[in-house]
Amino acid sequence: MEDLQDKLIQAHEDGLLWDAIDEEYLCDRSDDALLPRALIHLHNDGTLDLVNIYSSLECTSDKHDLYSLLRVFEKVLPDLNAQVEDVANCIKHLILASDGNPDANGMIRPFRKFCEKKPERPTKLLELALSELDEQFNLLSVAIEAGSSFNAQFYISKAIELLDHKNELIAERAVMALGWLQYDCEALQTDSAQAMLKASQNITSDSFLAASLRSLFSVTHQSNSCKHIFMEFLDQHEEHYGENYVHAASNLLFFEDSKISDTEETRLLNLCSHLKPQNTGSINNVDHALERLLKRKEFTTCGTFLEELFENTKYKLPVKYFDGFIRTLHQNRDTYLSTLVTRWLLSQNFNLGAFCEQLFDLSDKGVSISFDKSLLINQPDGTHLFLARKACGWFFLQPKTAMSLIKSLIEDAPENELEGIQNILFNPLLISYPSNIHKHLDEMKLSEDKNTLNTAQILIEQFEKFEKGLKSASEINELRPSEQNRHSYWKHHSKLMDESMKKARSESPLLSLFCNESILLYGNKSIHYIHNGDKKFRQEIPLQKHSHSFELASMHYLDPHGLENMTWQFKAEGCHS
C-alpha cells in the first residue's frame, strides 16, 4: 500500500491526482480495494486534504470519469476525519456543480454515514441547518436522519417541533426527514403521522403537501396501526391537484405498488388523472401502473382512468405516450385491445377515435383484430354500419386492421345494414387495396356463415365488373396519354429526382461523412475506390437484388379529394365531442 500512497502523493504534486484515482479505480474494484484505504490514510494523517480537493472537482468537465471519482469518494468519506461544515460544503458543491448528474446525487448516503460515525456530527449539522438556511441544499433532513441512529426520541421530537416552524422550507424538510426514518416504536410512528397530518392542515402549498404525501405513506406503512392516517390525509386534500402533489402520487404508484392497498390505489389513480401533459415523469409512472393493472386483469379500471385523464387534460395528452400499456394491450389483442377499440369507437367521441388509431403502429402492416361483440348487445339500429364506417375512416391506411374489424361485424349484422357494409368494403377499401383485400375475401369464401360467404362473392363479382370497366376505358385512345407525353413526363420526373438527390447530398453531413460515391459499371457491377494514404484501391461489387413490396391506395391517385372527404366523414359522423 505504501507504493500506492507514494504514487498518489506524486500525482497530486504533479496535478494528476484525478488521473491516478481513475486509473487505480479501474484496475482494482475488489471489496478489499487498496485505493480507498490508501486515500483514507493519506487524508487522516494530514498528507492530503481530500475534502478540500474534492471541493474543487469540476463536475461538468469531460477530462475525467466523474462516475469513478465519485464512487471512490463515497467509499472513503465515512471514515475521514473532517469538520462537518467542510464536508457539507463539499457535498453541496458536488451535487450543485454536477447540474443534476445522478452520480453526484448519490453522495447524500455516504454523507449521512459520515455523520453517523460520531454523535456530535448530526448535532453540529442540525445547528448549521437551522442557523444558516440553505435553500439549495437540504442539511436538515440529513441531520435528523443521522441523529436518529443515536437518539431516535430526541431527533423525532425535534422534527415534529419543526413542523410548526415559521419558515415553510424548514417545515417541509422536517416532513421529509420523518419520512426517511425507520420506526421501532409504534408510539413514535403514530406521533409522527399525526403531527404531519395536523401540519398539512396549516400549510397547504403544493410542495409541502407533496412531501407530506410521500412521508406519510412511508411512516404509516411501516405497520398496520396507523394506515388510516394516510387515508385521512387523502380525504383532507382530495380537491388538491398541484403538479408536485400529483407527481408524488404517481411515484407511489410506481415505486410502492407492493405496499399499496386497493383502496389507496384507487385514490392515487384519481389524483393522477389530473396530471399535467408536460410532466413526462408522471406519465411514465402512470404508464407502469396501468401496465401492472392490465396484467392483474383490471382492464375496466384502466379504461375508466384513461378516459377521465383525457377529459381532464382536454385530450392534449395522446394515448401513444403510454407505450408500456399499449404493448400489454397488444399482448391481449383478442380481449383487452378489442374491447378498448370497440368502446372508444362506440363512444361517439372524435378524440377517442383518434386515440384508437394511435394504438396501432402505422409503420406496421397492420394486425388482425375483431370488434368486441358483447358491447354491441342492446345497441341501437345502425350500430354495425356505424362501426364499419369508423373502422374504415380511422384505419384506412392499415387495410388489414380495417378489413378484420369490418369482417367481424358481417356475421351478426342486420340485413338492412349489410349492403352499406359491403359498399364500404368495395369503395374505398377493395378499390384501393385489391391485393390485400382479396386475401381476406378468399378466406371469407371458406366461411360457413351465410352473410360472410355472400359478402365475399358479391364483392369479388363487383370488382371483376369494375376491372372490366377500367380495361374498357383504357382502350379509349382519347383517355390515354401519347407515347411522347409519357416519355416527356418520365424525363421530367427523372430530372426532378436527380436534382433532389444532389440537393440532399450537398446538405447532408451524414452522407458526406459516411457515404462513398459508387459508379455503376456495365450495368451489373458497381465500383468504388478505397483511399489509404496516397494509395488508391479499386473495388468491384456485383449488384445485389433487394426488394420490398407494399400496396399504395389507388384511390389516392384516382380521387384523392373524394377519398379524404369520405374518410373524414366516416371519422366525424355521429361524434358529439
Predicted local confidence at residue 366, as pLDDT: 81
Q: Read off the pLDDT of residues 208-259 as tens digits, 9 standing for 90 and up.
A: 999 999 999 999 999 988 999 999 999 999 999 999 999 999 999 999 999 9
CA 349 to chain centre: 25
DSSP codes of every residue in 228-277: HHHHHHHHHTTT---HHHHHHHHHHHHH-TTT--HHHHHHHHHHHTT--T
- Tell me: pLDDT of 527 over 90: no
- Tell me: pLDDT of 516 over 60: no
Average pLDDT over residues 299-323: 96
How far, in Å, are 210, 327, 337 from residue 323 at the CA level?
27, 6, 13
Give the number of other Cβ atoms within 10 Å of residue 64's Cβ.
Answer: 16
- Tell me: pLDDT of 532 over 80: no
Is residue 191 a contact partner of residue 226, using CB atoms and an 8 Å limit?
A: no
Q: Which amino acid is at 384?
A: H
Under the banding of pLDDT at 50, 70 and 90, the label for residue 40 is very high
The C-alpha cell 397492420 sits at 366
- Tell me: pLDDT of 515 over 60: no
Selection from 107, 43, 41, 14 nearest residue 69 by Cα: 107
Please provide residue 83's backbone torsions phi and psi, each rounded to the nearest 5 degrees.
-75, 140
Q: Provide the 8-state DSSP code for 366.
A: -
Please provide residue 181's backbone torsions phi and psi, each rounded to the nearest 5 degrees.
-85, 155
pTM, entire model: 0.84
* Burial bucket for residue 113 (CB in 10 Å: 0-12, 13-18, 19+): middle
- Tell me: pLDDT of 521 over 60: no
Name the most confidently modeled range: 326-335, 358-367, 503-512.
326-335
Under the banding of pLDDT at 50, 70 and 90, the label for residue 471 is confident
DSSP codes of every residue in 431-484: HH-HHHHHHHHHHHTT-S-HHHHHHHHHHHHHHHHHHHHHHHHHT-GGGS--HH
Mean pLDDT, the chain, rounded, equals 91
Name the most confidently modeled range: 60-69, 165-174, 545-554, 556-565.
165-174
Length of the chain: 577
Is residue 172 a contact partner of residue 180, using CB atoms and an 8 Å limit?
A: no
Predicted local confidence at residue 576, as pLDDT: 83
- Tell me: pLDDT of 435 over 70: yes
- Tell me: pLDDT of 426 over 70: yes
* β partners of residue 532: 535
Predicted local confidence at residue 546, as pLDDT: 64
Average pLDDT over residues 309-325: 96
- Tell me: pLDDT of 326 over 90: yes
- Tell me: pLDDT of 547 over 80: no
Show the 3-state SS of 127-140.
HHHHHCCCCCCCHH
Give the number of other Cβ atoms within 10 Å of residue 468's Cβ.
Answer: 10
Is residue 97 a contact partner of residue 60, using CB atoms and an 8 Å limit?
A: yes
Give the number of other Cβ atoms within 10 Å of residue 193's Cβ.
Answer: 26
- Tell me: pLDDT of 557 over 90: no
Show the 3-state SS of 315-352.
CCCCHHHCHHHHHHHHHCHHHHHHHHHHHHHHCCCHHH
Selection from 32, 132, 116 nearest residue 75 by Cα: 32
Predicted local confidence at residue 506, as pLDDT: 72
DSSP codes of every residue in 46-103: TS--HHHHHTT--TT-SSS-HHHHHHHHHHHGGG----HHHHHHHHHHHHHHTTS-HH
* β partners of residue 527: 519, 540
- Tell me: pLDDT of 207 over 80: yes
Q: Read off the pLDDT of residues 156-203 as tens digits, 9 standing for 90 and up.
A: 999 999 999 999 999 999 999 999 999 999 999 999 999 999 999 999
Predicted local confidence at residue 508, as pLDDT: 65
Instruction: Return the percentage of the chain with pLDDT > 70, whole number.
Output: 93
Is residue 371 a contact partner of residue 387, using CB atoms and an 8 Å limit?
A: yes
Predicted local confidence at residue 477, as pLDDT: 72
CA–CA dist 374, 377 (Å, integer): 6
Q: Read off the pLDDT of residues 397-413 as tens digits, 9 standing for 90 and up.
A: 999 999 999 999 999 99
Handedness of CA 337, 392, 425, 401 (dihedral sign): negative
How far, in Å, are 89, 104, 133, 157, 566 from residue 128 at the CA level?
11, 22, 8, 18, 72
Which residue has better confidence, 58 or 114? 114
Predicted local confidence at residue 362, as pLDDT: 64
Average pLDDT over residues 344-360: 96
Under the banding of pLDDT at 50, 70 and 90, the label for residue 513 is low
* Burial bucket for residue 479 (CB in 10 Å: 0-12, 13-18, 19+): exposed
Predicted local confidence at residue 164, as pLDDT: 95
Average pLDDT over residues 536-554: 74
Consecutive H or E run containing 539: strand 535-542
Q: Residue 157 contacts by C-beta under 8 Å, 6 or more apart in sequence?
A: none
